Structure 1
């Protein structure tokens, strides 16, 4: 059952989402060769708590850490560890925060130093596919419209779209209805309603769409061990249009990147 949010609840969710955004912005300065994912996880937990929130992933379904840290061929749900990042890696950082009874949850895939051109293109296309999907999250459309748009865009570039893992509704629970696949058929699935909030999160593989799981019960890998990228935003349906609750602007500020990619989805400027 889809649970629409009031404007007041959406503002509380925006606050949670922005804490995640700021956490990812803080981490952007720390992602570099020689740093361990466990170190980054500890920095994130402290930062989230210092902002009056609880790490949203910590203990959820018995997950042991505050961040899902998935390098290279890991798609999602990687567990932070003591292995240092090296030049040429990519690292997907998925972060959640719980404040005022509502969750924020979004992700960004970072380059560690200079990366291979084909991997850089994978990141660019996956991030663009996120906005392609968000544009279809509007009054009158359905879940399949978002999934179809993401799938077509990424497959037209020759990439594999993961089927087994999907985006989701967001609210007082981390995972609410509806599921938001990154594939689908136009006009199919649940209809979008005013006030709903979803996490849209393309997961795109350089090679096959197929995946496998490590014995740890969490880490998901590409079946061919080629790189995978993951980008995620929290989006509310307000006045029939998609509005971002999360932002990559703190990441871009930290990395010295100029971008206007979010302008069409933002209602106001954040401090």
Structure 2
């Protein structure tokens, strides 16, 4: 589940971006070599990362079950129940169910998945409307196992979808893969965010800026906030990519405008121009050997 601002084969970096990611130990993106201010981040030990991997495997298995239902005629309520069944099987605590709403007077989140269809970006509530050929649906879920959290999302095509929408899904997925790859060669998150933002723009799409990724550990939302774009605030309070940091990285990409609005239910966020968007996410731990994706069925 994304934080309000305020997997396929990992591709190599596109050639026009390959020189922008510095290896660990290089100066920061502003050219300085000295330390920078950063959010207070609790680093995880190797043992704690292993425990988080247990939660990540359950999340990955749950998303695999939801993927089986990505067919015309199925419903997002069906997907919600399939994910809930996986969580029950593994004695996993759903992270989204009952999560309090940031809008005063609105109810807590009522499901174990966020299911966001077509122009809905994030935090969509599952329902019984049959999915139709040509829809796309983002499924985002998380759970806690043994006191540690995992969080992941995927956007699925329902049957055949238009080529431009398929490109949107491909670019968003590749943006996440690019970020994971870049985390192994960059020292600061702002360098990774710059690569993500430039790649999305080079493909004719837009990074949604109102919602961002986040740190994760014993709580679903921990410091730091993890944007998919560069801002003055990020450069001022950059995130050092050091062993022990664990991030939920989740690019959200729009076909048209990056501007969004929240619907009357207090949860569902849609693009203002009502054109499609896509959302992919993994929980990623930095280790001495490099980035490790925790929300996969297999390492």
TM-score with structure 1 setting the length: 0.89
Cα displacement string for residues 74-114 of structure 1 (whole angstroms, at most 9, x for unaligned residues)? 00000011111000000000010111101100000000001
Distance 1:69 1:21 in 2: 16
**Structure 1 246/193 Cα, relative in aligned 2: closer, same or farther at 3 Å?**
same
1:49 maps onto 2:88 in alignment = yes
Which of 256, 259, 277 is the equivalent residue of 1:207? 256
8 Å Cα contact 1:140-1:191 kept in structure 2: no
C-alpha displacement at 1:202, in angstroms? 0.4
Deviation per CA, 1:173-227: give whole Å up to 9, x if none: 1011111101016993122221111010000001111111101110010111000
Find the partner of 1:36 among 66, 71, 75: 75
Q: Which residue does the alignment assign to 1:101?
A: 147
Task: Work out which of the residue numbers 230, 237, 247 in structure 1 matches 2:279.
Answer: 230
Shift of 1:63: 1.1
Tell me the residue number matched to 1:17.
56
Which one of 182, 189, 192 corresponds to residue 136 of structure 1? 182
Q: Which runs of 5+ in 2 are unaligned?
A: 1-39, 101-107
Contact 2:283 2:294 in 1 (8 A): yes
How many residues align? The count is 250
Structure 2-normalised TM-score?
A: 0.80
Q: Secondary structure at the match of 1:38?
A: helix
How far does residue 240 in structure 1 lie from its aligned partner after superposition?
5.5
Q: Where do 1:1-271 residues align within 5 Å?
A: 1-61=40-100, 62-138=108-184, 141-184=187-230, 188=235, 189-239=238-288, 241-247=290-296, 269=298
Higher relative contact order (CA 8 A, sep 6+): 2
CA distance in 2, matches of 1:149, 1:18: 28
Task: State the shift of 1:145 in Å.
Answer: 1.4
Q: Distance in 1 between matches of 2:120 and 2:186?
A: 35
Deviation, 1:56, is 1.4
Residue pair 2:186, 2:192 contacting (<8 A) in 1 also: no
CA distances 1:127-149 after superposition (whole Å, capped 9, x unpaired): 00001112232476222112111
Write out per-residue CA displacement over residues 22-61 of structure 1, whole angstroms, 9 at most, x where no aligned residue: 1111111111111111121112111111112111111122
- How large is the Cα RMSD of the aligned pairs? 1.6
| 2:69–2:78 contact (8 Å) kept in structure 1 | no
CA contact (8 A) 1:108 1:231 kept: yes
Counterpart secondary structure, 1:147: helix
Q: 1:139 to 1:115 in 2, by over 3 A?
A: closer
Unpaired runs of 5+ residues, structure 1, are: 251-268
Rounded Cα–Cα distance in structure 2 between residues aligned with 1:111 and 1:179: 29
Q: Distance in 2 between matches of 1:217 and 1:204?
A: 21
> After the TM superposition, which of the residue ranges 140-149 and 91-100 deviates more from structure 2?
140-149
- Distance in structure 2 (CA, Å) of the matches to 1:184 and 1:132: 16
Q: Take 1:233 and 1:33, find their aligned partners in 2: how far apart are those partners?
A: 26
Instruction: Report the secondary structure of 1:177's partner residue.
Output: strand
